[in-house]
Structure 1
Amino acid sequence: MEQSRSRRSSAKIVLTVIAVLAVLCCCGGGAGAFFFFNGATKAAGEATSAFLTDLQAGNLTAAYDRLCDATRSRYEQPSFAEVVNRRKPVSHDVHWGGGYDNSNGRETASITADISYAGGGRDAHTFQLTKDAGTWEICGDPY
């Protein structure tokens, strides 16, 4: 009898240790993923905020310079300015986090921001970004 109680007690201790280690690994992995993706999207979020700040300040040349080549080829600078001036942003709030991908060395991100406009109105816009030569650029539908 004594021996079977000892075995059960040892088994409980081993199972408890395994459970604690499993919980620590899961929590550690979750925290690691949180910090990785937060760090990976932080610079893209800052680039998005800088783009919107340029638009708000009326510095459309600087905002246009933040567009990737593919988007600039779709929007000439005068037509870009026309679109922005029709619905001028007055404030923005970039959401925490976002999406990040690194496929074959090509880094992309998606960042959502709430934008308030002159004359009223507010909406959320998701910006697509591409990293080119170490700089995050706005791609896709810029506005």
Structure 2
Amino acid sequence: MGRQRVEHRPVRRRRPMRAGVLVAGLGLGTCLIGVAGLAAWNAQVVLQAGGPVRETADGFFREVAAGDTDRAYERLCAEARGRWSRTGFDSWVRTPPLVSGYEIVDVSVKTRAGRPRATVVVRLNRDGGGSEERELPVVSEDGGWRVCGDPF
């Protein structure tokens, strides 16, 4: 009896590597599209916020300079209203030297942790001729911008 010769044919394997590369490529593409969309949204928020932030700060200081502390108090964020009562804010604003005028020097809007935040640099003119520059934090809250921090 002779030996039978058995031929071994190489087993054709499917190429899982191609499928893995394809899935990884699609995942990477999706991530890049998401990052680009988020960057575009952030840029849009920052670019469009400069006007409303300036209007909020302008209204706040106009009311403070005019002595209308009730309306100025309404422009404060929830955190600031939690620190000061309406009466306390009124007496704080009316403490000499009073704000007699102001000039908005700069408005800067940035996002931090996905939330827009702004800083307004304002030059305050005081009774008696003195002036000083202050940074006023402004935050997005309840669909609008609110003064949040110590502006004086």
Instruction: Give matches, 1:10-21, under 5 Å.
Output: none
Aligned partners of 2:61 and 2:72 also within 8 Å = yes
Which residue pairs with 1:88 in the alignment?
98
| 1:71 to 2:80 alignment | yes
The Cα shift of 1:137 comes to 0.3
Q: Does the CA contact (< 8 Å) of 1:55 and 1:88 recur in 2?
A: no
Q: 1:112 aligns with which of 113, 121, 127?
A: 121
Equivalent in the alignment of 1:137: 146
Name which of 53, 68, 71 aligns with 1:59. 68
What TM-score results when the alignment is normalised by the length of structure 1? 0.68
Deviations 1:60-100 (A, max 9, x none): 0000010001011111111211111113211111014x321
The one-letter code of the counterpart of 1:49 is D
- Count of residue correspondences: 109
- The percent identity for this pair of structures is 25
Shift of 1:111: 0.5
Whether the 8 Å contact between 2:136 and 2:151 is mirrored in structure 1 is: yes
Counterpart CA distance in 1 for 2:105 and 2:51 is 10
Distance 1:38 1:125, change over 3 A: farther
For 2:84, give the aligned amino acid.
Y
Contact between 1:130 and 1:139, CA under 8 Å: does it hold in 2?
A: yes
TM-score with structure 2 length normalisation? 0.64
Q: Distance in 2 between matches of 1:107 and 1:59?
A: 28
8 A Cα contact 2:45 2:116, kept in partner = no
Hey, what's the Cα distance between the residues in 1 that align with 2:83 and 2:46? 30
Gaps of 5+ in 2: 1-42
Greater relative contact order, per chain length (Cα 8 Å cut-off, separation 6+): 1
Larger proportion of helix: 1
Q: Which runs of 5+ in 1 are unaligned?
A: 1-32
